């Protein structure tokens, strides 16, 4: 039997965009990650950002987010956990190739399931730190959140469609590729079915900052409040000049289904004031500098204005989604090829403009 990692690599070799199987957009672009890819059967490649600090990027397509591994004198702090417990166990095994030190602290940058569903693997021996909002949302039923449903619900129909294609396919190479894609998607659903959403055990209020002191390191956890979600955190290493940003700042276009665009743009000023050089984002490769702060703020303010103007004219969500034109931002975000925005994003902005703050 071919293992899942081999299947994913074979799908990628066949020219299939594995990351595209999960509809949460992966941030592409930015500065290419440094360091060699992990070899053997590791499910992650670890990019060294500083002594003891690693950006963990999945090599399995059904894992949509990154984690960061901070190895201290006696313990490990892990920033964000994978999409399923199965994938979290793979990450844990990979981390053991770096260090035998125990993971005593996990930080969730926000509540989205692709950053928190591995929590249960670490919860027995680790404190899980998140925002108060993240805790409340996970306890209320994170898998029913619309971001989760927008990713999960299309998977089963996609599998059935690929099985129909498989039955009709005669080319051996294409059949093998379809079989591999189906296996990856089925593994993803099986992993989700086993998940027991586990909320943070320690929480921060909006604007609060907690510092973890280690003999060889200072780790600041900063609550930036409403931004990508109703409660985002960043993890800042002042000595190393590194910040772990989750989805608060990436090199890709903002994912806005649960966002507060105006407050997000303003909250990025908190990040600007930090003395950092390297950004370890929740999606995509690490990058350096603060240029993406400007790009993200400009994007958020523009999209909010366009949506507001269209709403004042009485334009419906579906039509506004077709008319919003973000192509002026294509220099910073090359993935923007034409006008149009995800209807879920427009719906969220209209909701906020109407004074509704619904996440279900």
Average pLDDT, stretch 106-126?
Answer: 96
Average pLDDT, stretch 135-157?
Answer: 90
Residue 19 pLDDT more than 70?
A: no
Average pLDDT, stretch 9-34?
Answer: 29
Residue 216 pLDDT more than 90?
A: no
pLDDT of residue 157: 95
DSSP 299-323: HHHHHHHHHHHHHHTT--HHHHHHH
Residue 37 pLDDT more than 60?
A: no
pLDDT tier for residue 59 given thresholds of 50, 70 and 90? confident
Number of other CB atoms surrounding residue 320 within 10 Å = 22
Residue 75 pLDDT more than 60?
A: yes
Q: At what angle do helices 172-193 and 85-95 cross, to 10 degrees?
A: 100
Report yes or no on 71 lying in a domain.
yes
- Spatial CB neighbours of 131, under 8 Å, sequence gap ≥ 6: 108, 110, 111, 200, 203, 204, 205, 206, 223, 230, 231, 232, 233
Report yes or no on 101 lying in a domain.
yes
pLDDT of residue 165: 96
Report yes or no on 125 lying in a domain.
yes
Tally of domains in the chain: 1
Higher-confidence position of 286 and 1 = 286
Residue 25 pLDDT more than 50?
A: no
**Are 220 and 235 within 8 A, CB to CB?**
yes
* CA proximity to 130, closest of 140, 115, 144: 115
How much is the mean pLDDT over the chain? 87
Look-up of token digits 């955190």: 233
160-206 tens-digit pLDDT: 999 999 999 999 999 999 998 898 889 888 888 888 999 999 999 99
pLDDT of residue 64: 66
The tokens for 152 are 């999960």
Report yes or no on 342 lying in a domain.
no
Residue 251 pLDDT more than 60?
A: yes
CATH of the domain at 89: 3.60.15.10
Q: What is the layout of strands, in order, in the sheet containing 209-214? A: 209-214, 217-225, 232-237, 242-246, 278-281, 287-288
pLDDT tier for residue 358 given thresholds of 50, 70 and 90? low
Report yes or no on 85 lying in a domain.
yes
DSSP 278-293: EEEESSS--EESSHHH
pLDDT of residue 33: 28
**Are 184 and 1 within 8 A, CB to CB?**
no
Q: What percent of the chain has pLDDT over 70?
A: 87
- Where do the DSSP E strands lie in 146-259? 202-204, 209-214, 217-225, 232-237, 242-246
**pTM of the shown model:** 0.85
Report yes or no on 106 lying in a domain.
yes
Residue 23 pLDDT more than 50?
A: no
Rounded-to-10 torsion of CA 58, 264, 220, 57: 10
Number of other CB atoms surrounding residue 168 within 10 Å = 8
SS3 content of the chain, % helix, strand, coil (to 5): 40, 20, 40
Q: What does the alpha-carbon distance between residue 228 and residue 204 come to, in Å, rounded to a whole number?
A: 16
pLDDT of residue 136: 95
- Please report, for residues 70, 138, 239, the alpha-carbon distance to residue 52 in angstroms, rounded to integers and kept in the order given: 6, 30, 13
Q: Which domain holds residue 225?
A: 4-146+196-246+272-291
81-111 tens-digit pLDDT: 998 899 999 999 999 999 999 999 999 999 9
Report yes or no on 313 lying in a domain.
no
Report yes or no on 202 lying in a domain.
yes
Look-up of token digits 């396919």: 169
């Amino acid at each position: 039997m071919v293992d899942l990692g081999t299947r994913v690599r074979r799908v990628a070799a066949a020219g299939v965009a594995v990351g595209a199987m999960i509809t949460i957009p992966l941030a592409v672009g930015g500065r290419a990650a440094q360091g060699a890819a992990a070899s053997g059967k590791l499910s992650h490649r670890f990019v060294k950002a500083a002594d003891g600090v690693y950006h963990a990027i999945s090599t399995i397509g059904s894992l949509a987010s990154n984690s960061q591994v901070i190895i201290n004198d006696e313990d490990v702090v892990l920033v964000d956990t994978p999409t399923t417990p199965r994938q979290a166990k793979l990450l844990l095994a990979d981390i053991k190739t770096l260090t035998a030190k125990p993971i005593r602290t996990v930080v969730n940058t926000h509540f989205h399931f692709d950053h928190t569903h591995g929590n249960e693997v670490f919860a027995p021996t680790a404190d899980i730190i998140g925002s108060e909002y993240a805790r409340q949302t996970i306890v209320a039923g994170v898998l029913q959140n619309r971001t989760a449903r927008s990713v999960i619900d299309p998977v089963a129909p996609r599998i059935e469609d690929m099985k129909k294609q498989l039955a009709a396919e005669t080319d051996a190479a294409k059949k093998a590729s379809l079989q591999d894609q189906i296996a990856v998607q089925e593994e993803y659903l099986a992993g989700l079915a086993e998940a027991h959403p586990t909320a943070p055990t320690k929480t921060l209020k909006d604007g609060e900052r907690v510092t973890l002191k280690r003999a060889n390191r200072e780790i600041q956890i900063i609550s930036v409040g409403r931004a990508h979600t109703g409660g985002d955190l960043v993890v800042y290493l002042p000595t190393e000049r590194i910040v772990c940003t989750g989805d608060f700042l990436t090199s890709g276009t903002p994912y806005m289904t649960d966002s507060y665009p105006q407050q997000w743009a303003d909250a990025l000023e908190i990040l600007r004031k930090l003395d950092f050089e390297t950004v370890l984002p929740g999606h995509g490769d690490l990058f350096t500098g603060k240029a993406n702060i400007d790009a993200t703020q400009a994007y958020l303010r523009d999209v909010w204005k366009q949506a507001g103007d269209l709403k004042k004219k009485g334009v419906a969500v579906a039509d506004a989604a077709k008319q919003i034109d973000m192509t002026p931002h294509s220099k910073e975000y090359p993935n923007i090829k034409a006008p149009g925005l995800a209807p879920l994003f427009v719906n969220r902005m209209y909701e906020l403009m109407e004074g509704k703050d619904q996440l279900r």
